[in-house]
Amino acid sequence: MSKRVAVITGGAGDLAHALAPALEKDGLEVHAPGRDLLNVTSPESVRAFFRELGTVDLLVNNAGMRADALCAQMTEAAWDAVMSANLRGAFLCSQVVGLTMMRQRSGHIINIGSFSARYGTSGQSNYAAAKAGLIGLTQTMARELGKRSVRVNCVLPGFLETKFTETMTGENKESARQMHELGKFNTVDDAARFIAFLDTMSAVSGQVFQLDSRVSPWT
């Protein structure tokens, strides 16, 4: 039998680097394209990439970016760029792949979210709004695709010490750590193991999984 095919967007990121071997260990054929191969903000790039690839059994919408600033000081360009990379990109990829999965009558889409969607982190109005929208996209697509046996879930991997957060000051990182009831962060390997495990759970869809010890204001 042919291997199941997985695509991880944002393939240059640390989480993608940890997730790819975890999925390969489970027997998947993994593609983790960077922006040069798959620009998720470009409909043309998205259509061309997935048309050439053909079958997709697992899509992990991992591509994203930050451009932090207080809302009053945020530029429209910063707002648009973050919304495009984090939310529009996930929509574009999920729309194309979702059609393929519906024809297959199988498949799984996992969106990589953020605790900012629940907490409304100061200085991240664009990022928080995009990630909150990603939860709405997850739950809506889970309803729309479920009758064709396609699953859609969202994982909030927690604060990960990666290239994505390396520009944050030590003070800000420590402040984030203090929000965790256990006083420690996950690692990318922790998050990757959970995502790989979630993919094996054939009866789970439309759910949001938070992988740290911060207590959210709503569940």
pLDDT in tens, 187-210: 999 999 999 999 999 999 999 999
Dist. CA 99–CA 144, nearest whole Å: 11
Q: Which of 64, 60, 51 is nearest to 31 (CA)?
A: 60
Residue 158's pLDDT is 84
Arithmetic mean of pLDDT, 75-93: 97
Residue 142's pLDDT is 98
Q: Where are the alpha helices (DSSP H) in 84-183?
A: 89-104, 116-119, 125-145, 170-178
Question: Letter for the amino acid at 68?
Answer: D
Q: Which pTM value belongs to this model? A: 0.91
Which residue numbers are catalytic? 127
Arithmetic mean of pLDDT, 22-38: 97
Residue 9's pLDDT is 98
Dist. CA 219–CA 210, nearest whole Å: 10
Arithmetic mean of pLDDT, 143-171: 85
Dist. CA 166–CA 139, nearest whole Å: 31
Arithmetic mean of pLDDT, 159-169: 70
Distance spanning both ends of the chain, measured CA to CA: 40
Average pLDDT, the chain: 92
Q: Is the pLDDT of residue 102 over 70?
A: yes
Strands 5-8 and 29-31, bridge-based pairing? parallel
Question: Per-residue pLDDT tens for 114-144?
Answer: 988 888 778 889 999 999 999 999 999 999 9
